[in-house]
Amino acid sequence: MLKKNIVAMGLIFMLVTSLAGCGGKDKNTKTSDSSNDSIKQEMSDEDAETLYQQAIKEGGKLNVYSISSRMPKAAESFMEKYPEIKVEVYDLKQNEVLEKISREYKADIHTCDVAHLKDEDGSVWNEYVKNNILKIYYPKDICENIDSSYLETGMPLYTEMYFWYYNTEVYDKAPIDSWWDLTREEWRGKLITRNPQDDSTYMALFTNLWLASDELEASYKEEFGEDLVLSKGCKNAAEEFMYRFCNNDLIYAASSDEICEAVGTKGQDSAPIGLAASSKMRKVESDGYVMNTIENIKPFIGNLQINYLYTVDKSEHESAAKLFVRWLMGEKDGKGKGFEPFNTLGGWALRKDVETLEGNTPLTDINYVRYKADEVYNAYVNVEDFWISLQK
Partner 1 sequence: MIENQQRSYSKSKRIKNILKDVFTNPYNIIVFISLVFLTYLIIVPLISMITSTFQVAQGELRRIPGSQVGDFTLYYWQRLLASEFSMSTLYKPLLNSLLIGVCVSVFSITLGSGLAWFMVRTDLPFKKFFSFAVIIPYMIPSWCKSMAWLTVFRNERVGGSAGFLSGIGINTPDWLAYGPFAIICVLTVHYYAYSYLLTSSALRSINSELEEMGEIQGAGKATILRKITLPLVMPAILSSVILTFSKSIGTFGVPAFLGMKINYYTISTMLYSNIKQQNTSLGFAISIILITIAAMTVYINQKIIGTRKSYETIGGKGGRSTPLRLGKWRGLFTALITAFIGLAVIMPIAILFLETFLKKTGDYSLSNFTLHYWIGASDPAIAEGEAGVLRNARFWTNVKNTMILVVVTSVIATIIGQILGYISSRGRKKVSGKLIEQLVFIPYLIPSIAFSAIYLSMFSTRHGIVPALYGSMALMVVVSVVKHIPFASRAGTSNMIQIGTELEEAANIEGASFMKRMLKVVLPLSKGGFISGLMLIFISIMKELDLIILIITPKLATLPYMAFQYSNNNNNQMSDVVAVIMFSIVLVIYLITNKVSGADISSSM
Tell me the closest approach of the beta carbon of residue 49 to partner 1, in angstroms.
31
Q: Does residue 242 touch partner 1 according to CB under 8 A?
A: no
Q: Applying CB under 8 A, which of residues 272, 336, 338, 346 lies at the interface with partner 1?
A: 272
Size of the site for partner 1 (CB under 8 A): 73
Residue 68 vs 319, nearer CB to partner 1: 68
Tell me the closest approach of the beta carbon of residue 12 to partner 1, in angstroms.
8
Q: Does residue 375 touch partner 1 according to CB under 8 A?
A: no
Tell me the closest approach of the beta carbon of residue 198 to partner 1, in angstroms.
5
Q: Does residue 148 touch partner 1 according to CB under 8 A?
A: no
Peptide bond into 299 cis (omega under 30): yes
Could you give phi then psi for residue 66, rounded to 5 degrees? Answer: -135, 155
Residue 123 vs 219, nearer CB to partner 1: 123
What CA–CA distance (Å, rounded) separates 104 from 314? 11
Residues 8-67 that bind partner 1 (CB under 8 A): 15-17, 19-21, 23-26, 29, 31-33
- Say if residues 278 and 342 touch (Cβ distance below 8 Å): no
Q: Does residue 362 touch partner 1 according to CB under 8 A?
A: no
Q: How many CB atoms lie within 10 A of CB 247?
A: 13
Residue 219 vs 360, nearer CB to partner 1: 360
Q: Applying CB under 8 A, which of residues 160, 261, 313, 318 lies at the interface with partner 1?
A: 261
Residue 126 vs 360, nearer CB to partner 1: 126
Tell me the closest approach of the beta carbon of residue 366 to partner 1, in angstroms.
24
Residue 27 vs 57, nearer CB to partner 1: 27
Residues 76-115 that bind partner 1 (CB under 8 A): 89-92, 95-96, 98-100, 103-104, 106-109, 111
Residues 115-134 that bind partner 1 (CB under 8 A): 123, 127, 131
**DSSP-derived 3-state class of residue 153:** coil
Binding part of the chain for partner 1, among 48-56, 307-315, 349-357, 380-388 by CB under 8 A, reads 380-388
- Say if residues 139 and 319 touch (Cβ distance below 8 Å): no
Q: Applying CB under 8 A, which of residues 47, 84, 147, 198 lies at the interface with partner 1?
A: 198
Residue 219 vs 292, nearer CB to partner 1: 292
CA angle 342, 345, 346 (to 5 degrees): 90
Q: Residue 158, CB half-sphere, CA atoms under 13 Å: how many?
A: 28
Cβ neighbors of 271 (< 8 A, separation 6 or more) are 166, 167, 169, 170, 190, 262, 263, 264, 265
| Dihedral sign from CA coordinates of 36, 41, 42, 48 | positive
Q: Does residue 380 touch partner 1 according to CB under 8 A?
A: yes
**Cα 338 from chain centroid?**
21
Could you give phi then psi for residue 380, rounded to 5 degrees? Answer: -50, -50
What CA–CA distance (Å, rounded) separates 163 from 297? 10
Q: Does residue 385 touch partner 1 according to CB under 8 A?
A: yes
Q: Applying CB under 8 A, which of residues 75, 263, 309, 320 lies at the interface with partner 1?
A: 263
Q: Does residue 378 touch partner 1 according to CB under 8 A?
A: yes
Beta strands in the chain (DSSP E): 43-44, 61-66, 86-91, 114-118, 134-135, 138-139, 155-160, 162-167, 191-194, 251-253, 273-277, 291-294, 302-303, 305-312, 368-369
